[in-house]
Structure 1
Amino acid sequence: MSNNPSGTDVEPKDTAPPSEQPDLGPHADVQESTSQSQPTPSGSQQAEASPPSSGELKYLIVEDNMINRKVMEKLLNRLGLEGQFHMAENGQEGIDAYKKNPQQCRFIFMDIAMPIKGGMEASKEIRDYEREHDLSPAVIVGMHPQTVASQVERFKNEFGMDGVIEKPVRTDVLKHVTDKWPV
């Protein structure tokens, strides 16, 4: 565990040499869970070889702010994930999308503060649903303007998030988390 200039801990667990790790910088902290078991990828790996169809949705972005949704869309497209994600505008829509088809929501980017139902409550409800239905856990990465270490630990321990990234989200941070938890 290292201490970066912003004062929050970054715990990369990748095996790539340091020269291949993204420069996360002071405003792009990735806070990762060490107490949660890591989800296992599900589905076929052929999505990498061919353009995705609507049946290959894997990512769910739950974000109430239209500009932030557009930014996430642009960044995911830049990473070659075009057509592999869908969006929800609040926590309840995110829960509904997950319950409708968990296999299309293997990786969830969850805004923390949203109307109707916030990201913490939505994440907890998704984790409860997974346990009740014996589902392999999705990756849930919270998105928050500040990654205060004590808050981040609460997001992970109480609400089942696997990690938290800082907003505004940067491409290198997004690549780091999607590489860390491939789906």
Structure 2
Amino acid sequence: MQIKSVFIVEDDPSLQSLYEKILSYYGYTILGVARNGEEAVKMFVDFQLKPDIIIMDHRLPVKDGIEASKEILIYEKKAKILFASADKTIKDAALSIGITRFIEKPFDISVLIENIKELIDVKI
């Protein structure tokens, strides 16, 4: 089985660390961590090997998660983005731009892992 890679876009250091620990425990490779939307787009464009999935926060400094996702999807229309936000009112807007899946914060770790596994198995 091929090891799957994840790109984390999250400005909260404690959540970054939690994601990294949990995902590493479940056997995923962390391709990178971006702390704002602008950095996320730049890093994504610069990756030679694109991540299997992107975990994207909504409220980010410099450029929010919706705008960063739009730009990433311009570069790679098949990018799989798991969008995480405490603001469920933006779910429809997020999905309408091509974000693959939306989960509401706070969420249980099992929900995160289940969504990642499902998305990695989906062919777009």
TM-score band by shorter chain is 0.7 to 0.9
TM-score normalised by L of structure 2: 0.85
Moved runs in structure 1, 4+ residues, more than 3 A?
none
> In structure 2, what is the Cα distance between the partners aligned to 1:76 and 1:46?
15
Question: Which of 5, 8, 20 is the matching residue for 1:73?
Answer: 20
**Structure-2 residue corresponding to 1:154:** 93
What one-letter code is carried by the residue in structure 2 that aligns with 1:71? L
What one-letter code is carried by the residue in structure 2 that aligns with 1:141? L
Deviation, 1:71, is 1.6
Deviation, 1:107, is 0.7
> What percent identity do the matched residue pairs reach?
30
Deviation, 1:120, is 0.4
Q: Is the 8 A contact 1:72 1:169 kept in 2?
A: no
What one-letter code is carried by the residue in structure 2 that aligns with 1:125? E
Cα RMSD (Å) of the superposition?
Answer: 1.9
Higher relative contact order (CA 8 A, sep 6+): 1
**Structure with greater proportional helix content:** 2
TM-score normalised by L of structure 1: 0.60
Q: What is the count of residue pairs matched by the alignment?
A: 121
List gaps (5 residues or longer) in structure 2. none
**Structure-2 residue corresponding to 1:88:** 34
List gaps (5 residues or longer) in structure 1. 1-44, 48-56, 132-136
Deviation, 1:102, is 5.7
